[in-house]
Amino acid sequence: MDGDYLKGRWRGVEVCESGVLQMVEVSFSQRVPEEDGSEIKCDLKGFLRCVLFPLKLSDMLAARLFRRALPVLRQARSYADAASGAPQMSFTFASPTQVFFREASVKQVDVPTLTGVFGILPAHVPTLQVLRPGVVTVFNDDGSSAKYFVSSGSVTVNADSSVQLLAEEAVPLDQLDVTAARANLEKAQSELVGTADEAVRAEVQISIEANEAIVKALE
């Protein structure tokens, strides 16, 4: 059923190491089965920076950008459906591999952007912001909250109080391991000192920024 698919295309900007903004495009196309038997189409097109996170379990995935491995948890796909009744804010939050919220009614979302952390409330002024590595906090209608670490991406706030947050990589904050993050940070800092290759330095710098943000979030 078409209604079971997250469809569409997303365009935004990404900051390259040179400081130049370039357009990126995401197309949801690959069908991925959901726990309820439905399917969501999700694929990634265009150049996007990729960061894999150090997690408490030891499953290994190849880092698409760094070409090295980090301990990660293979996450189960999940999403929060929209609550019944008129929502205060319609919130969608997804990465290329997982949907966390789909048109869900929430009270507030705090997001880390290149200009700082800011809170999104219903009737927020429309805006498009580029995300930096940091913590996204979602405040639910029932008073509970959930925190997620994102590597980068974009958040779009629309005039109808709908919000779409697309992260390149995202994981619940409580699944991150600060000890592993510190070890990865020290390793990356050593690699940065030991290489003069600009391409390698750019990759290592991304790893440093992500792991610094993880350590800060967990301390």
**pLDDT value, residue 30:** 40
CA 199, CA 195: separation in Å to the nearest integer?
10
Name residue, tokens 């796909």: 77
DSSP 146-203: EEEEE-SEEEEE-TTSEEEEEESSEEEGGGB-HHHHHHHHHHHHHHHHT---HHHHHH
**pLDDT value, residue 171:** 94
Per residue in 43-68, pLDDT (tens digit) is 333 333 333 344 333 333 323 333 33
Per residue in 62-80, pLDDT (tens digit) is 233 333 323 333 333 333 4
Per residue in 143-175, pLDDT (tens digit) is 999 999 999 999 999 999 999 999 999 999 999
Indicate whether 40 pLDDT > 80. Answer: no
Averaged pLDDT of the chain = 70
| Whole-structure pTM value | 0.60
CA 144, CA 105: separation in Å to the nearest integer?
13
**Whether the Cβ atoms of residue 215 and residue 188 lie closer than 8 Å to each other:** no
Indicate whether 182 pLDDT > 80. Answer: yes
Spatial neighbors of 81 by CB under 8 A, at least 6 apart, are 102, 103, 104
Indicate whether 181 pLDDT > 60. Answer: yes
Nearest of 51, 81, 82 to residue 67 by alpha carbon: 51
Query: Domains (ranges, CATH) in the chain?
Result: 2-174 (2.60.15.10), 177-218 (1.20.5.440)
Spatial neighbors of 197 by CB under 8 A, at least 6 apart, are none
**Whether the Cβ atoms of residue 135 and residue 145 lie closer than 8 Å to each other:** no
**pLDDT value, residue 36:** 53
Mean pLDDT score, 185-205? 86
